[in-house]
Amino acid sequence: MKKQSVLTIAAAGVCSMSLLLSACGGSGDSAGSADAKGGSDTMVSVFNPEPANPLIPSMTNEVGGGNPIDILFSKLVRFDSKGKPRNEIAKEIKANADNTQYTVTIKDGWKFSDGTPVTSQSFTKAWSWASNVNNKQLGSGFFSNIKGYGDLQKEGVAGDAQLAGLKVVDDKTFTVDLSEPSSTFPIQVGYTAFAPLPESFYKDTKAFGQKPVTVGPYKFKSWEHNKALTLVKDTNYKGGVVVKNGGVEFRAYTDPTAAYRDVQSGHLDVLDTVPTSARKTFQSDSSVQAINEPGSVIQMFTIPTYMKHFGEDQEGKLRRRAISMAIDRDLIIKKVLSGTGVEVHDFTSPAIPGYAKNLPGSDVLKYNPKKAKELWAEADKISPWTQADTFKMAYNADGSHKETYDAVANSIKNTLNINAAGNPLPTFNEFRSNVQGRKFTDSAFRSGWQPDYPSPESYLKSNFDSSAADGNGSNDGDYKNPEFDQLMVKAASAKSLDEANKIYQQSEEILFKDLPAVPLYYMNSNGVAGKDVKGFSFTWKNTPDYASLSK
Amino acid sequence: MGKYLLRRILQMIPVVLGTTLLIYALVFALPGDPVAAMFGDKPVNQAVAAQIRSEYNLDKPFIVQYVLFLKNALTLNFGNTFAGQPVVSVIGRAFPVTVKLALMAFVFEGVFGVIFGIIGGLTKGKWSDNVILVLSLLLISVPTFVTGFILQYLFGVKWHVLPATAGANPGFMDLLMPAVVLGSVSMASIIRLTRTEITSNISEDYVRTARAKGMSNRQVILRHVLRNSLIPVVTYLGADIGGLMGGAMITERIFNIQGVGNTLFQAILRGEGTLVVSIVTILVMIFVICSLVVDMLYAVLDPRIRYA
Amino acid sequence: MRSSILVFGMREGADSMTDMTMNESNELNQSQAKVFFPDPLPGQERFVAPIEETPLREVDSVDEDVPPTSMWADAWMTLRHNPMFIISTILAILVILVALFPSLFARQDPSACTLANSLEPARSGHPFGFDLQGCDVYSRVIYGARTSVSIGIMTTILVTILGGVIGAVAGFFGGWIDALLSRVTDIFFAIPMLLGAIVLLQMFRTSTSLWKIIFTLTLFGWVNMARITRSAVMEAKNLEFNTASTALGSSPIRNLFRHIIPNSLAPVIVMATTSMGTYIVSEATLSFLGVGLPPTVVSWGGDISTAQNLLTTNPSVLFYPSAALAITVLAFIMMGDAVKDALDPKSRTA
């Protein structure tokens, strides 16, 4: 168990990127042919929330900063539009026998936008800097599996301390020693936080955060706060992304409805989300082109194991299943979400290899009012649910979840004949504090998941493994099942991806019985673009493929 | 008079102190941990969180935080936002556009509110009065988001007459629609107040006197009736100008204006104490100045009101 | 004599007369009177009833045959015959009845919602159709009245009392009392309601009591009322009837309550009635932000804000609660107008 826990933290850390990763896959498989000069040179304008942090890769953990940073900084690997990793700056990432040490060699000729070359140190120094607690990086957890991370997290550590696990062999080669074996390390290094940084970064990190020196398909042009962040095509780019426009202007919006109006009236090219007010109309709106296709995000609500009547005992299991079967997901998707979601069949998503639609036990995710009532009545025999009890589901009111949770509550209420209601909390701050402080002892709470890499592991381990419980990861409901944990270990050491996926499917069968969280629906990738925009498509990460846009 | 003015300006000091203390206390009492929320949906790195807390003094007791804020504020150092930008520059970006918007809305609601109010008051009980009653009723009961949406859709999307959103550096035409939407909310109150005062003043004896003196109707209305009717309207308008600046959140969202209302709203949601306090402090100074101006106007409108 | 009446009622608006003492203006008006009332020319004589038919009294003498009536009684006399007052009262009573006994008007449970009915149009038994969650819009409008009307009326009353008293005291006494109260008002103006409401209401998160909303709205709503009352009192306290009253031995406090406040009521009533709708909508804003009432409580404001997203596709869902709100506000505005007119003898409609 111990052996595994660190790995899980690393995986969980990696998952902090979940909201922001967009693959920079251009035309998909045309790897290597750096045809950056093709296409038009027009600027495209896209919707984007104002970045919440300076433009430093390891500081960024939300879409506002993640979207631009992802196309500003190339990493060792990139993901194509299907989410498949491809070498970008890396020439080779080679593991030793037990996956505890990796040797990374990088390609020649890569240069930062200030002309300095990309070397081994561009990576090792950047990773060490981000791991250093004094630098207060929100993404420092990404490096937690690299040896020496713990030392850099101690107070009073020297400012230029380096991760002990990183050794520079020469300008183009370095080795990484991991604390725990990891087969996913070569994928992890494709995340934004692992981007290389130039020497000039360390001289003035503050200035860099406002005006970064980059190494990617785009370079930084200007950032007018709360107005626009403009990137232009970097003609020196050597990687595999095909850039079809002259640059991308990330316009700052606070409300997607306003952006929708701008797309309609031709003042904005791309909006990568659909405001609630346009859900019913965006696909038939003749003034825009719309996309609505299955994505990789799953929406659930967690019923914490510390919630009254819902513990990890027989009563809890019965009630969880009753609740799940009391929700008419089909109808909610149709009526409330207007088809912007897909009916849920498991705990991962259809966009992921290893997804299976009809796993044994997945019936529990189907609306079955009769069975739900029976299960609920059975649970009532163990310990009665009184008229004074209400089944509550918490969400943050500053998101847009009210309609969904009102509908879920009504469905539960009508089926089980109990009180059920949404439980809005005014701010995300408060919502998260309550989740982290384990204060939802009488309420379920919203949980959604966007994966970091296309494997069921990214969904299952971070959310339901014991080692991610108790504040060590994203298992906020503190679900613990040794049987499930063992399957996670088994899958990680599986010889092939298919074999691993089979084991993950087995683990899901356990989840169907225990229902640590109740899946609601798979959220679609959807958005609109102006009529004259070409190449509007979504990556597997639910973000627009910025490089392929043109007019 | 000079002494009075000086006293009023000096009163600003306790007001600013009181406001900052109160707001700081309120932000401090906000439920939730802003630093933990920075990590999003994901587990918090406690070591990093502790460092961030100490950077923003969030680990210190309330009163120490407040004193530190005051100390820094005295040297005009308002610190940085969580996003690493100086509070001063955030405010410097938000206020100009909001001031523009608020002034436009102010002029709109003031001019049209008073005009409709006069018409309503003069034609009391007639159809024009009733039309204006219905108009003000609509303004009260139709929510801002509806007015905003309808105008935005018609003028911005359908007819392409005005830009649908204000854009990055909004000019007069860009802000015209938002200003109308923003101003229309308070316009109802101004219409009703003006109308009421007009109806009660129109039957005053001095009106008869003025008419008897042979003044034209227009002169009677403008020079006597209106002047005597304006005190509550001026009061309302004076109080409203601050509201137009700080409370334009919905309008700013609809038209994507990155102004004070939205900045303040976001800062409250994020629990950013210094930013909230700084914005509110500026707002309270605007309020104090506005009420001073309003009080001065009383003396102009009604010379019997005097200040020592 | 006629001219003296003119002067008595006159306010300082006529700027040419601004600095005149009462004496001066008296003379002026008497001289004017001669100009305006010359001897009648032939054909211009008027009919004057014989003194026996109309008992003529001395000018300004009080008719002692009838018992003296108070200002309020006078107002009531006028109101009883004012059609606007009657209509608005009937409307208001109807609204209050609906609020008190919603089950008399609607059979359906407003929170019995079946998603299958989502956005279905009106049909028999469901005259207004269904909302997004498949709830009956008609019964939600009826049941929502209780929350919304109670919040609207109670907040209006509390705001008027609190703001009125503070404003009246500040305006009447002036000096440091005014300075103190006015600056407190300024501070309250500047506190963002969202911030105050989140902090205050988190203490009563689970309570479904309307009072938490009413008190919060009052706490942030009284400031406007205080400003308006203050201005009206400042204006009224300089009017001549105070001097007259003081000369008759009345104390300042008595003046304040007997003369100044009744004479400052007009703008206060207008503010109160026009703000009522705002309070009803504010409740929705608070609930929408997750600090107000739990989502299970039915209210117009809540329904208006949830129907917001349906504006393009199903405006009728938005229309009905908004119309209910408008009718309520209309009733109270009209009633306020009538009361205000009745209290002000000069603006009584002929």
The predicted structure's pLDDT at residue B96:
92
Query: Does any domain span residue A277?
Result: no
The winner for highest mean pLDDT among B49-58, B235-244, C221-230 is C221-230
* Residues in A touching B271 (Cβ below 8 Å): 427, 429
Note whether A288 contacts C: Cβ–Cβ < 8 A.
Answer: no
Residue A535 makes CB contacts below 8 A (sequence gap 6+) with A244, A545, A548, A549, A550
Instruction: Give the integer Cα–Cα distance in Å for C67 and C93.
Output: 32
Does the beta-carbon distance from A397 to C290 stay under 8 Å? yes
User: Whole-angstrom distance between the N-terminal and C-terminal Cα of chain B?
Assistant: 6
The predicted structure's pLDDT at residue B174:
92
**CB of C219 closer than 8 Å to CB of C163:** no
**Which chains have 3+ CB pairs within 8 A of C?**
A, B
- Partner-chain residue, chosen from B41, B51, B168, that has the shortest CB–CB distance to A228: B168
Residues A113 and A195 in one domain: yes
Instruction: Give the integer Cα–Cα distance in Å for A24 and A86.
Output: 11
List chain A residues with pLDDT less than 70: 1-40, 495
Q: What count of Cα atoms within 13 Å lies in the side-chain half-sphere of residue A494?
A: 18
Closest CA to C261 of C319, C155, C348, C343: C343
The predicted structure's pLDDT at residue C36:
56
Instruction: Give the integer Cα–Cα distance in Å for B27 and B276.
Output: 8
Does the beta-carbon distance from B258 to A252 stay under 8 Å? yes
The predicted structure's pLDDT at residue A32:
36
The residue among A242 and C81 whose pLDDT is bigger is: A242
Residues A174 and A314 in one domain: no
Query: Does any domain span residue A35?
Result: yes
Instruction: Give the integer Cα–Cα distance in Å for B41 and C220.
Output: 34
Residues A320 and A192 in one domain: no
Note whether B10 contacts A: Cβ–Cβ < 8 A.
Answer: no
- Partner-chain residue, chosen from A226, A426, A474, that has the shortest CB–CB distance to B43: A474
Interface test with A, best of C133, C202, C308, C311 (most A CBs within 10 A): C133
Q: What is the mean pLDDT of residues B241-248?
A: 84
Query: Does any domain span residue A33?
Result: yes
Query: Does any domain span residue A152?
Result: yes
Does the beta-carbon distance from C288 to A397 stay under 8 Å? yes
**Each residue of C306-331: pLDDT tens digit?**
888 888 888 889 899 989 988 998 89
- Asked if pLDDT for residue C24 goes beyond 50, the answer is no
Query: Does any domain span residue A88?
Result: yes
Query: Does any domain span residue A22?
Result: yes
**CB of A93 closer than 8 Å to CB of A77:** yes
Domain boundary among A177, A200, A231: A231
Interface test with C, best of A260, A277, A329 (most C CBs within 10 A): A277
Does the beta-carbon distance from C192 to B264 stay under 8 Å? yes
* Closest residue on chain B to A133 (Cα): B48
The residue among B167 and A4 whose pLDDT is bigger is: B167
Q: Both tokens of residue A112? A: 């930062």
Which of B66-70, C136-140, C290-294 comes out lowest in average pLDDT? C290-294
The predicted structure's pLDDT at residue A23:
31
Query: How many CB atoms neighbour CB A207 within 10 A?
Result: 13
The predicted structure's pLDDT at residue C61:
66
Does the beta-carbon distance from A396 to C290 stay under 8 Å? yes
Q: Token match 């409008």: residue?
A: C141
Residues A467 and A365 in one domain: yes
Does the beta-carbon distance from A433 to B33 stay under 8 Å? yes
* Residues in B touching A134 (Cβ below 8 Å): 51
User: Whole-angstrom distance between the N-terminal and C-terminal Cα of chain C?
Assistant: 24
- Residue C262: strand, helix, or coil: helix
Does the beta-carbon distance from A328 to C132 stay under 8 Å? no
Query: Does any domain span residue A280?
Result: no
Sign of the dihedral through C-alpha C304, C310, C311, C317: negative
3-state helix, strand, coil in chain B (%, to 5): 75, 0, 25
* Closest residue on chain C to A393 (Cα): C295
**CB of A125 closer than 8 Å to CB of A162:** yes
Residues A307 and A227 in one domain: no
Instruction: Give the integer Cα–Cα distance in Å for A102 and A184.
Output: 11
Q: Which residues of C249-260 are buried (b: 16+ CB within 10 A; e: fewer)?
A: eeeeeebbebbb
**Which chains have 3+ CB pairs within 8 A of B?**
A, C
Does the beta-carbon distance from C238 to B268 stay under 8 Å? no
- Can you give the CATH number for the domain in which A108 is found? 3.90.76.10
* Closest residue on chain A to C296 (Cα): A421
* Residues in C touching A280 (Cβ below 8 Å): 312-313
- Can you give the CATH number for the domain in which A440 is found? 3.10.105.10
Which A-chain residues 381-400 have CB contacts (< 8 A) with chain C? 396-398
Give B237 to chain C, closest Cα distance, Å.
Answer: 10
Note whether A253 contacts B: Cβ–Cβ < 8 A.
Answer: yes
Domain that includes residue A36, residue range: 2-231
Domain boundary among A231, A260, A282: A231
- Partner-chain residue, chosen from A279, A332, A397, that has the shortest CB–CB distance to C115: A332
The full DSSP string for B141-180 is: HS-HHHHHHHHIIIIIIIS-SS-SS--SS--HHHHHHHHH
Indicate the DSSP class of residue A236.
T
Q: Token match 């042979």: residue?
A: B214
| Domain count within chain A | 2
Which of A238-242, A412-416, B141-145, B184-188 comes out lowest in average pLDDT? B141-145
Domain boundary among A231, A247, A266: A231
* Residues in B touching C189 (Cβ below 8 Å): 239, 242-243, 283-284, 287
Give C14 to chain B, closest Cα distance, Å.
Answer: 6
Closest CA to C157 of C245, C241, C265, C272: C272
Radius of gyration, CA atoms only, chain B: 24
Residues A223 and A316 in one domain: no
Query: How many CB atoms neighbour CB C66 within 10 A?
Result: 7
Query: Does any domain span residue A41?
Result: yes
Residues A313 and A395 in one domain: yes
The predicted structure's pLDDT at residue C309:
85
Residues A193 and A302 in one domain: no
